[in-house]
């Protein structure tokens, strides 16, 4: 059922047809982009589960180009988190990666047009970036410190932009940030000016940057979907007048 739903959403992006959905747009835009780059023309109806794709090129959206590609990176990210920062144990890291590679749930999810592999990729990316940033605590404001802090913010935006359940990793990073700032505040050798710089850097990279990227996703969403579709009725007449093919298109709508 979910593949039918999200496959149809990907077709809407390829056809630039406006729709309304409960999830944020990033995952569905990536699915549509993968289908477009792999030659899918957006004509398959996705009416019910089990319908044969026949001549339609669905491979890009389903496996090779997106979901399976991102799923394959989960083991790499997991290995990096375990090996480089947390356990410091190569056997433990390899065992964890091995279990993830052969996990039935991950294998199943990576075979279909779903948001979950994309979400898990950004979740794991956020955790890895957070852990790597913590490892650079002894050299704050260095290039690597800024890189991992910024990448954490980018990953947070990606997780939130795929599904709202991504807010849980935002909570994790937020609690970690609060702990770091509290520890810095208790460091008597650190001036208040330097503490203010630490606070400002985290506000910039972990709040402003993710919010800016999250907003930009919706800007792209509305720019791409400029044709009338099944989601018109949820929006105002003024908005519908901007959609090509709508009955109100180019009609002057009073305030």
- Quickly tell me which residue has 């394959």 as its tokens: 72
Q: What's residue 64's pLDDT?
A: 44
Instruction: Tell me the percentage of the chain whose pLDDT exceeds 70.
Output: 87
Give the count of alpha carbons within 13 A of 55, CB side only: 2
Q: What is the pLDDT of residue 27?
A: 87
Q: Is residue 86 part of a domain?
A: yes
Q: What is the pTM of this model?
A: 0.86
pLDDT on residue 1: 56
Asked whether residue 238 carries a pLDDT value surpassing 60, the answer given is: yes
Residue 12 pLDDT exceeds 90: no
pLDDT tens string 111-153: 777 788 888 889 988 998 999 999 899 999 999 999 999 999 9
Q: Which residue has the higher pLDDT, 16 or 106?
A: 16
- pLDDT above 90 covers a percentage of the chain that reads 36
Q: pLDDT band for 203, please (50, 70, 90 cuts).
A: very high
pLDDT in the model for residue 103: 76
Q: Which residue has the higher pLDDT, 174 or 83?
A: 174
What does pLDDT average to over the chain? 84
Q: Can you give the pLDDT at residue 50?
A: 67
Domain span at residue 20 reads 2-241
- Looking at residue 67, its pLDDT comes to 64
Answer yes or no: is 252 within a domain. no
Q: Looking at per-residue confidence, does 112 or 192 come out higher?
A: 192
Higher pLDDT among residues 202 and 97, named by residue = 202
The listed range with the strongest mean pLDDT (47-61, 76-90, 124-138) is 124-138
Domains identified in the chain, total number? 1
Cβ burial of 208 (10 Å; 0-12, 13-18, 19+) is exposed
Residue 254 in domain:
no
CA dist., res. 239 & res. 228, Å (int): 11
* CA 14 – CA 40 distance, rounded (Å): 8
Q: Is 251 part of any domain?
A: no
């Amino acid at each position: 059922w979910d593949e039918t739903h999200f496959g149809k959403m990907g077709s809407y992006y390829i056809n630039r047809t406006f729709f309304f959905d409960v999830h944020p747009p990033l995952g569905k835009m990536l699915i549509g982009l993968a289908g477009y780059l792999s030659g899918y023309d957006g004509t398959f109806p996705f009416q019910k589960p089990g319908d044969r794709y026949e001549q339609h090129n669905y491979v890009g959206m389903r496996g090779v180009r997106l979901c399976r590609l991102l799923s394959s990176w989960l083991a790499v990210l997991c290995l990096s988190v375990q090996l480089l920062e947390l356990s410091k144990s190569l056997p433990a890291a390899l065992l964890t990666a091995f279990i993830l590679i052969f996990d039935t749930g991950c294998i199943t999810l990576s075979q279909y047009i779903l948001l979950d592999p994309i979400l898990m990729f950004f979740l794991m990316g956020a955790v890895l970036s957070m852990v790597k940033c913590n490892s650079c605590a002894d050299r704050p404001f260095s290039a690597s410190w800024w890189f991992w802090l910024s990448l954490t913010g980018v990953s947070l935006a990606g997780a939130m932009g795929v599904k709202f359940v991504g807010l849980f990793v935002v909570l994790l990073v937020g609690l970690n940030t609060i702990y770091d700032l509290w520890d810095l505040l208790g460091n008597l050798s650190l001036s208040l000016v330097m503490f203010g710089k630490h606070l400002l850097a985290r506000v910039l990279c972990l709040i402003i940057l993710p919010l800016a990227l999250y907003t930009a996703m919706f800007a792209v969403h509305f720019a791409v979907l400029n044709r009338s579709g099944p989601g018109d009725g949820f929006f105002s007449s003024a908005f519908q007048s901007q959609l090509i093919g709508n009955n109100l298109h180019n009609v002057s709508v009073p305030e």
